[in-house]
Amino acid sequence: MTGPTIPLGSLTQREHRSEIQCQACGSTRVTRLSMNLTDGTPVEFTSCHRCEHRTWEHGGDALTVASVLDKARRV
Ligand SMILES: [Zn+2]
């Protein structure tokens, strides 16, 4: 059983080297992406290069991985 792949859909990569911090370790070496989930929900995806912590946010609220996968599954 392989883990579900999160479809990236349309995304725009932006570089934020100073203002965005990893919520887990505080590193600013993060990648910030804006994307739409397959159900159309626009989210901000943040991936940390240091600890690999990943977060999804929608409207300022953090989404759990489970809820993101649930939305991605619902086509
Ligand atoms: Zn981190």
Between the CA of 56 and the centroid of ligand 1 the distance, in Å, is 14
The predicted structure's pLDDT at residue 17: 46
CA distance 37 to 29: 24
Which string of b and e fits 50-73 if b means at least 16 CB within 10 Å? eeeebbbeeeeeebeeeebbebbe
What is the residue extent of each domain of the chain?
11-65
The predicted structure's pLDDT at residue 73: 82
Between the CA of 24 and the centroid of ligand 1 the distance, in Å, is 5
The predicted structure's pLDDT at residue 16: 47
Radius of gyration of the chain (CA): 12
Between the CA of 70 and the centroid of ligand 1 the distance, in Å, is 24
pLDDT tens digits in sequence order for the chain, 75 residues long: 566 666 656 656 655 445 788 989 999 999 999 999 888 999 999 999 999 999 999 988 899 888 888 888 866
For residue 6 the two structure tokens come to 């999160």
The predicted structure's pLDDT at residue 60: 84
Closest CA to 43 of 27, 51, 52, 32: 32
